[in-house]
Amino acid sequence: MEKEIMEKYEKAGKICQEAKELARTQLKPGLKLLDLAESIEKLIRDKGGEPAFPVNLSLNDIAAHYTPDIDDTLTLKEGDLIKVDIGAQVDGYIGDTAFSVRLGEKSDTLIKAAEDALESFIKEIRPGKTVGEMSKLVEEVVLSHGVNPVRNLAGHSLEQYKQHGGLSIPNGHIPSKEEIKEGQVLGMEVFTTTGEGLVKESSPTLIYILLQPKPVRLNESRKIMQLVIEKFQTLPFARRWLKGVGSTAMLQLALKELTSKEVLREYPPLREKSNGLTAQAEETIIVLDKPIITTRA
């Protein structure tokens, strides 16, 4: 990896570290998720980066892809299990990290299972390891805690302006002989659950990504498409980031047109299929003989 690219990955990771520290200081009952998301995203920009995706603040049985909506009033309460998933990018080079907290509890088996599986992955990952080997390791560590991995979620490679690259490392074992290569950058995330271990799409959709520009009818649709091309490119964005485009009703109509014409793809919230609680742990890893964890001090 070129030195300049490495430095950008490391800067993005450092910003993620600071964003995690900020988030941990704010988590308490009564906190509005919208305020938390906006403060994290502001820090990312203030430190010289841009969000690689909207901050995900997923509660309880929602595993991923919930970010606050425009004027969202959802607040944290005692006992909530929150996943804070943060991404920062510098010239498209991404840091991706996540942690979980159970409000009012000092320890939680789900969180420990996710963190221990991630730590085991970090200790073992080297160039030449296979997806099969590493997915088996994650599954075994999670199961040893008496909970389940979320089998249809996975760690993933990171590429410039691509949050999900071509490599996937599932939380449940698959017999893949695909090798993990030197210099690959991984957003390795582990999801655990008290449920059966599968997620399904839920609602409302609050996160989108550009697929390809196409002719559209509504003026608001054209404005959104141009804004996405200029500011977000091929990275996910939040509906609340489009607040100035038009009224709430027109914004919803425009997004409906853009998704129906396959200009945009939706990322609905992912809910555990049996309504089990979920936890998440994630770090960004540059795969070398001595791996570099960019999102950890």
Domains and CATH numbers, the chain: 3-201+275-293 (3.90.230.10), 207-267 (1.10.10.10)
**Residue 66 and residue 57 in contact, taking contact as beta carbons nearer than 8 Å:** yes
Quickly state the pLDDT bin for 264 (edges 50, 70, 90).
Answer: very high
Average pLDDT over residues 52-79: 97
Q: What are the strands, taking DSSP E only, across 108-263?
A: 148-149, 154-157, 168-170, 185-193, 199-201, 207-210, 237-238
Q: Residue 67: CB partners within 8 Å, gap ≥ 6?
A: 37, 54, 55, 56, 57, 206, 207, 238, 240
Alpha-carbon distance 128 to 185, whole Å? 14
Give pLDDT, residue 41: 98
Quickly state the pLDDT bin for 252 (edges 50, 70, 90).
Answer: very high
Alpha-carbon distance 11 to 36, whole Å? 22
**Residue 259 and residue 239 in contact, taking contact as beta carbons nearer than 8 Å:** no
Give pLDDT, residue 283: 98
pLDDT in tens, 169-202: 999 999 999 999 999 999 999 999 999 999 999 9
Q: How far apart are the first and last CA of the chain?
A: 21
Task: Answer yes or no: is pLDDT of 248 > 90.
Answer: no
Residue 87 pairs in a beta bridge with 96
Alpha-carbon distance 199 to 149, whole Å? 11
Give pLDDT, residue 253: 96
Give pLDDT, residue 246: 81
Alpha-carbon distance 240 to 242, whole Å? 5
**Pairing mode, if any, of strands 264-267 and 207-210?**
antiparallel
Q: Residue 23: CB partners within 8 Å, gap ≥ 6?
A: 36, 40, 84, 86, 99
Task: Answer yes or no: is pLDDT of 157 > 90.
Answer: yes
Give pLDDT, residue 247: 87
Rounded alpha-carbon distances, angstroms, from residue 20 to 25, 43, 106, 198, 203:
9, 10, 18, 27, 26
Give pLDDT, residue 34: 98
- A 10 A CB-CB count for 77 gives 12
- Percentage, residues of the chain above pLDDT 90: 95
Catalytic residues: 85, 96, 156, 164, 189, 282
Task: Answer yes or no: is pLDDT of 123 > 90.
Answer: yes
Beta strands across the sheet bearing 62-64 = 62-64, 270-272, 199-201
Give pLDDT, residue 277: 98
What's the pTM value of the predicted model, to 2 decimals? 0.95
- Cα of 39 vs its chain's centroid, Å: 17
Quickly state the pLDDT bin for 224 (edges 50, 70, 90).
Answer: very high
Rounded alpha-carbon distances, angstroms, from residue 18 to 24, 117, 141, 169:
10, 23, 28, 27
Average pLDDT taken over every residue of the chain: 97
Q: What are the strands, taking DSSP E only, across 172-259?
A: 185-193, 199-201, 207-210, 237-238
Give pLDDT, residue 106: 83
Quickly state the pLDDT bin for 107 (edges 50, 70, 90).
Answer: confident
